[in-house]
């Protein structure tokens, strides 16, 4: 199995979740991940115990520049490098997740040696497919996706692969331990705030500015603000519930278990994890790009498991009024919690792995029969 999903955590984490599922289903499976020296995969893949092969990055420049002129050469260099990897490991299937390494993998899979084509399985995590997956989907054997219409044809909806530590999480069973870990009372109402690994300035500003209002309504806060950011918080008064501000959350499982509601971005992985654990959320889509973050959250919101708020509309007043009211409305919060759980796909990694194994076995049987 060759997994192509390097670059960002949004590509690497689903690939690693599928790698774990493949290993669980077929303990003897050989897995190789493709990546570049620039991506998070250089740290994440070896840490998970999988083989990593590096190729030349070939990102598509967002604006016309000299890099655009050099792009074809970089792509074909990456294709040659990838073809050598596929040949060396005797690949049965390529599983692509988009990103810098996916397009060379899709092109290389078309011919490795003696004209042999390696079947491709594509997974699209976003509600709006990236250009690499749009190209690869034209010749892929199976196309899997998080949502029904990501801009690709003939998709099978499976959700976003999430690591087993999250999909197996029982928030209620872990709640007492989680709240004790962060210093919250057993019966606290807890708001979780996070903006990805680097934080999000607009979320930081709005929630920290509403700290007094949150405390006045008896709401505890767990706020991951990002390692390069700081929060300006007022001095805590006697009787205030805790406002726990940290640069980064190493134990997201405990954070999810401690919380009643989240305020977060709506990247594909964030939405997948939050719904997998059944946590209702106020989603604040990143205000750049093609609007894919809004589309990621939309199915959850339509199911009743969350709210969408524009980045510019997330103000201290919104947090003080709407968010505090929601956290103090037990019936509505309970209904949103149930809806969030139903909107999730905790078995996505296993389903992708099963499809890939089926395709690989069929390909190997065809090769043996020749």
Binding-site members for UDP-N-acetyl-alpha-D-glucosamine are 8-10, 126, 163, 197, 293
The answer to whether 79 and 107 have CB atoms below 8 angstroms apart is yes
Nearest to 87 by CA among 66, 57, 117, 59: 117
From CA 171, how far away is CA 112, in angstroms rounded?
Answer: 47
From the annotation, which residues make up the binding site? 8-10, 126, 163, 197, 293
SS (H, E, C) the chain: CEEECCCCHHHHHHHHHHHHHHHHHCCCCCCEEEECCCCCHHHHHHHCCCEEEECCCCCCCCCCCHHHHHHHHHHHHHHHHHHHHHHHCCCCCEEECCCCCHHHHHHHCCCCCCCCCCCEEEEECCCCCCHHHHHHCCCCCEEEECCCCCCCCCEEECCCCCCHHHHCCCHHHHHHHHHHHHCCCCCCEEEEEECCCCCCHHHHHHHHHCHHHHHHCCEEEEEECCCCCCCCCCCCCCCCCCEEEECCCCCHHHHHHHCCEEEECCCHHHHHHHHHCCCCEEECCCCCCCCHHHHHHHHHHHHCCEEECCHHHCCHHHHHHHHHHHHCCHHHHHHHHHHHHHHCCCCHHHHHHHHHHHHHHHHHHHHHHC
The closest alpha carbon to 130, from 40, 54, 60, belongs to 60
């Amino acid at each position: 199995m060759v997994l192509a999903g390097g670059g960002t955590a949004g590509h690497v984490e689903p690939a690693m979740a599928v790698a774990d599922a493949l290993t669980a289903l077929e303990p003897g499976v050989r897995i190789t991940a493709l990546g570049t020296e620039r991506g998070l995969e250089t740290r994440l893949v070896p840490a998970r115990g999988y083989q990593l092969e590096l190729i030349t990055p070939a990102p598509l420049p967002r604006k016309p520049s000299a890099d655009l002129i050099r792009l074809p050469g970089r792509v074909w260099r990456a294709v040659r490098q990838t073809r050598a990897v596929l040949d060396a490991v005797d690949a049965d299937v390529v599983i692509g997740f988009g990103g810098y390494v996916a397009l060379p993998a899709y092109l290389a899979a078309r011919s490795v040696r003696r004209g042999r084509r390696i079947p491709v399985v594509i997974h699209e995590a976003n509600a709006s497919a990236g250009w690499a997956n749009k190209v690869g989907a034209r010749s892929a054997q199976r196309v899997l996706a998080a949502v029904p219409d990501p801009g690709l044809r003939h998709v099978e909806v499976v959700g976003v692969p999430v690591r087993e530590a999250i999909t197996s999480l029982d928030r209620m069973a872990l709640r007492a331990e989680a709240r004790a870990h962060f210093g919250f009372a057993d019966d606290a109402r807890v708001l979780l705030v996070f903006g990805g690994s680097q934080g999000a300035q607009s979320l930081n500003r709005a929630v920290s500015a509403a700290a007094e209002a949150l405390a006045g309504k008896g709401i505890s806060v767990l706020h991951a603000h990002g390692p390069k950011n700081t929060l300006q918080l007022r001095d805590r008064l006697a009787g205030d519930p805790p406002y726990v501000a940290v640069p980064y959350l190493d134990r997201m499982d405990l954070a999810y278990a401690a919380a009643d509601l989240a305020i977060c971005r709506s990247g594909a992985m964030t939405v997948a994890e939050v719904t997998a654990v059944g946590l209702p959320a106020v989603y604040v889509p990143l205000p750049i790009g093609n609007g894919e973050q809004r589309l990621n959250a939309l199915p959850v919101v339509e199911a009743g498991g969350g709210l969408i708020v524009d980045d510019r509309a997330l103000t201290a007043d919104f947090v003080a009024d709407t968010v505090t009211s929601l956290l103090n409305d037990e019936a509505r919060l309970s209904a949103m919690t149930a809806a969030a759980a139903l909107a999730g796909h905790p078995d996505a990694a296993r389903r992708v792995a099963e499809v890939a194994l089926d395709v690989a076995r069929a390909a190997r049987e065809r090769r043996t029969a020749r």
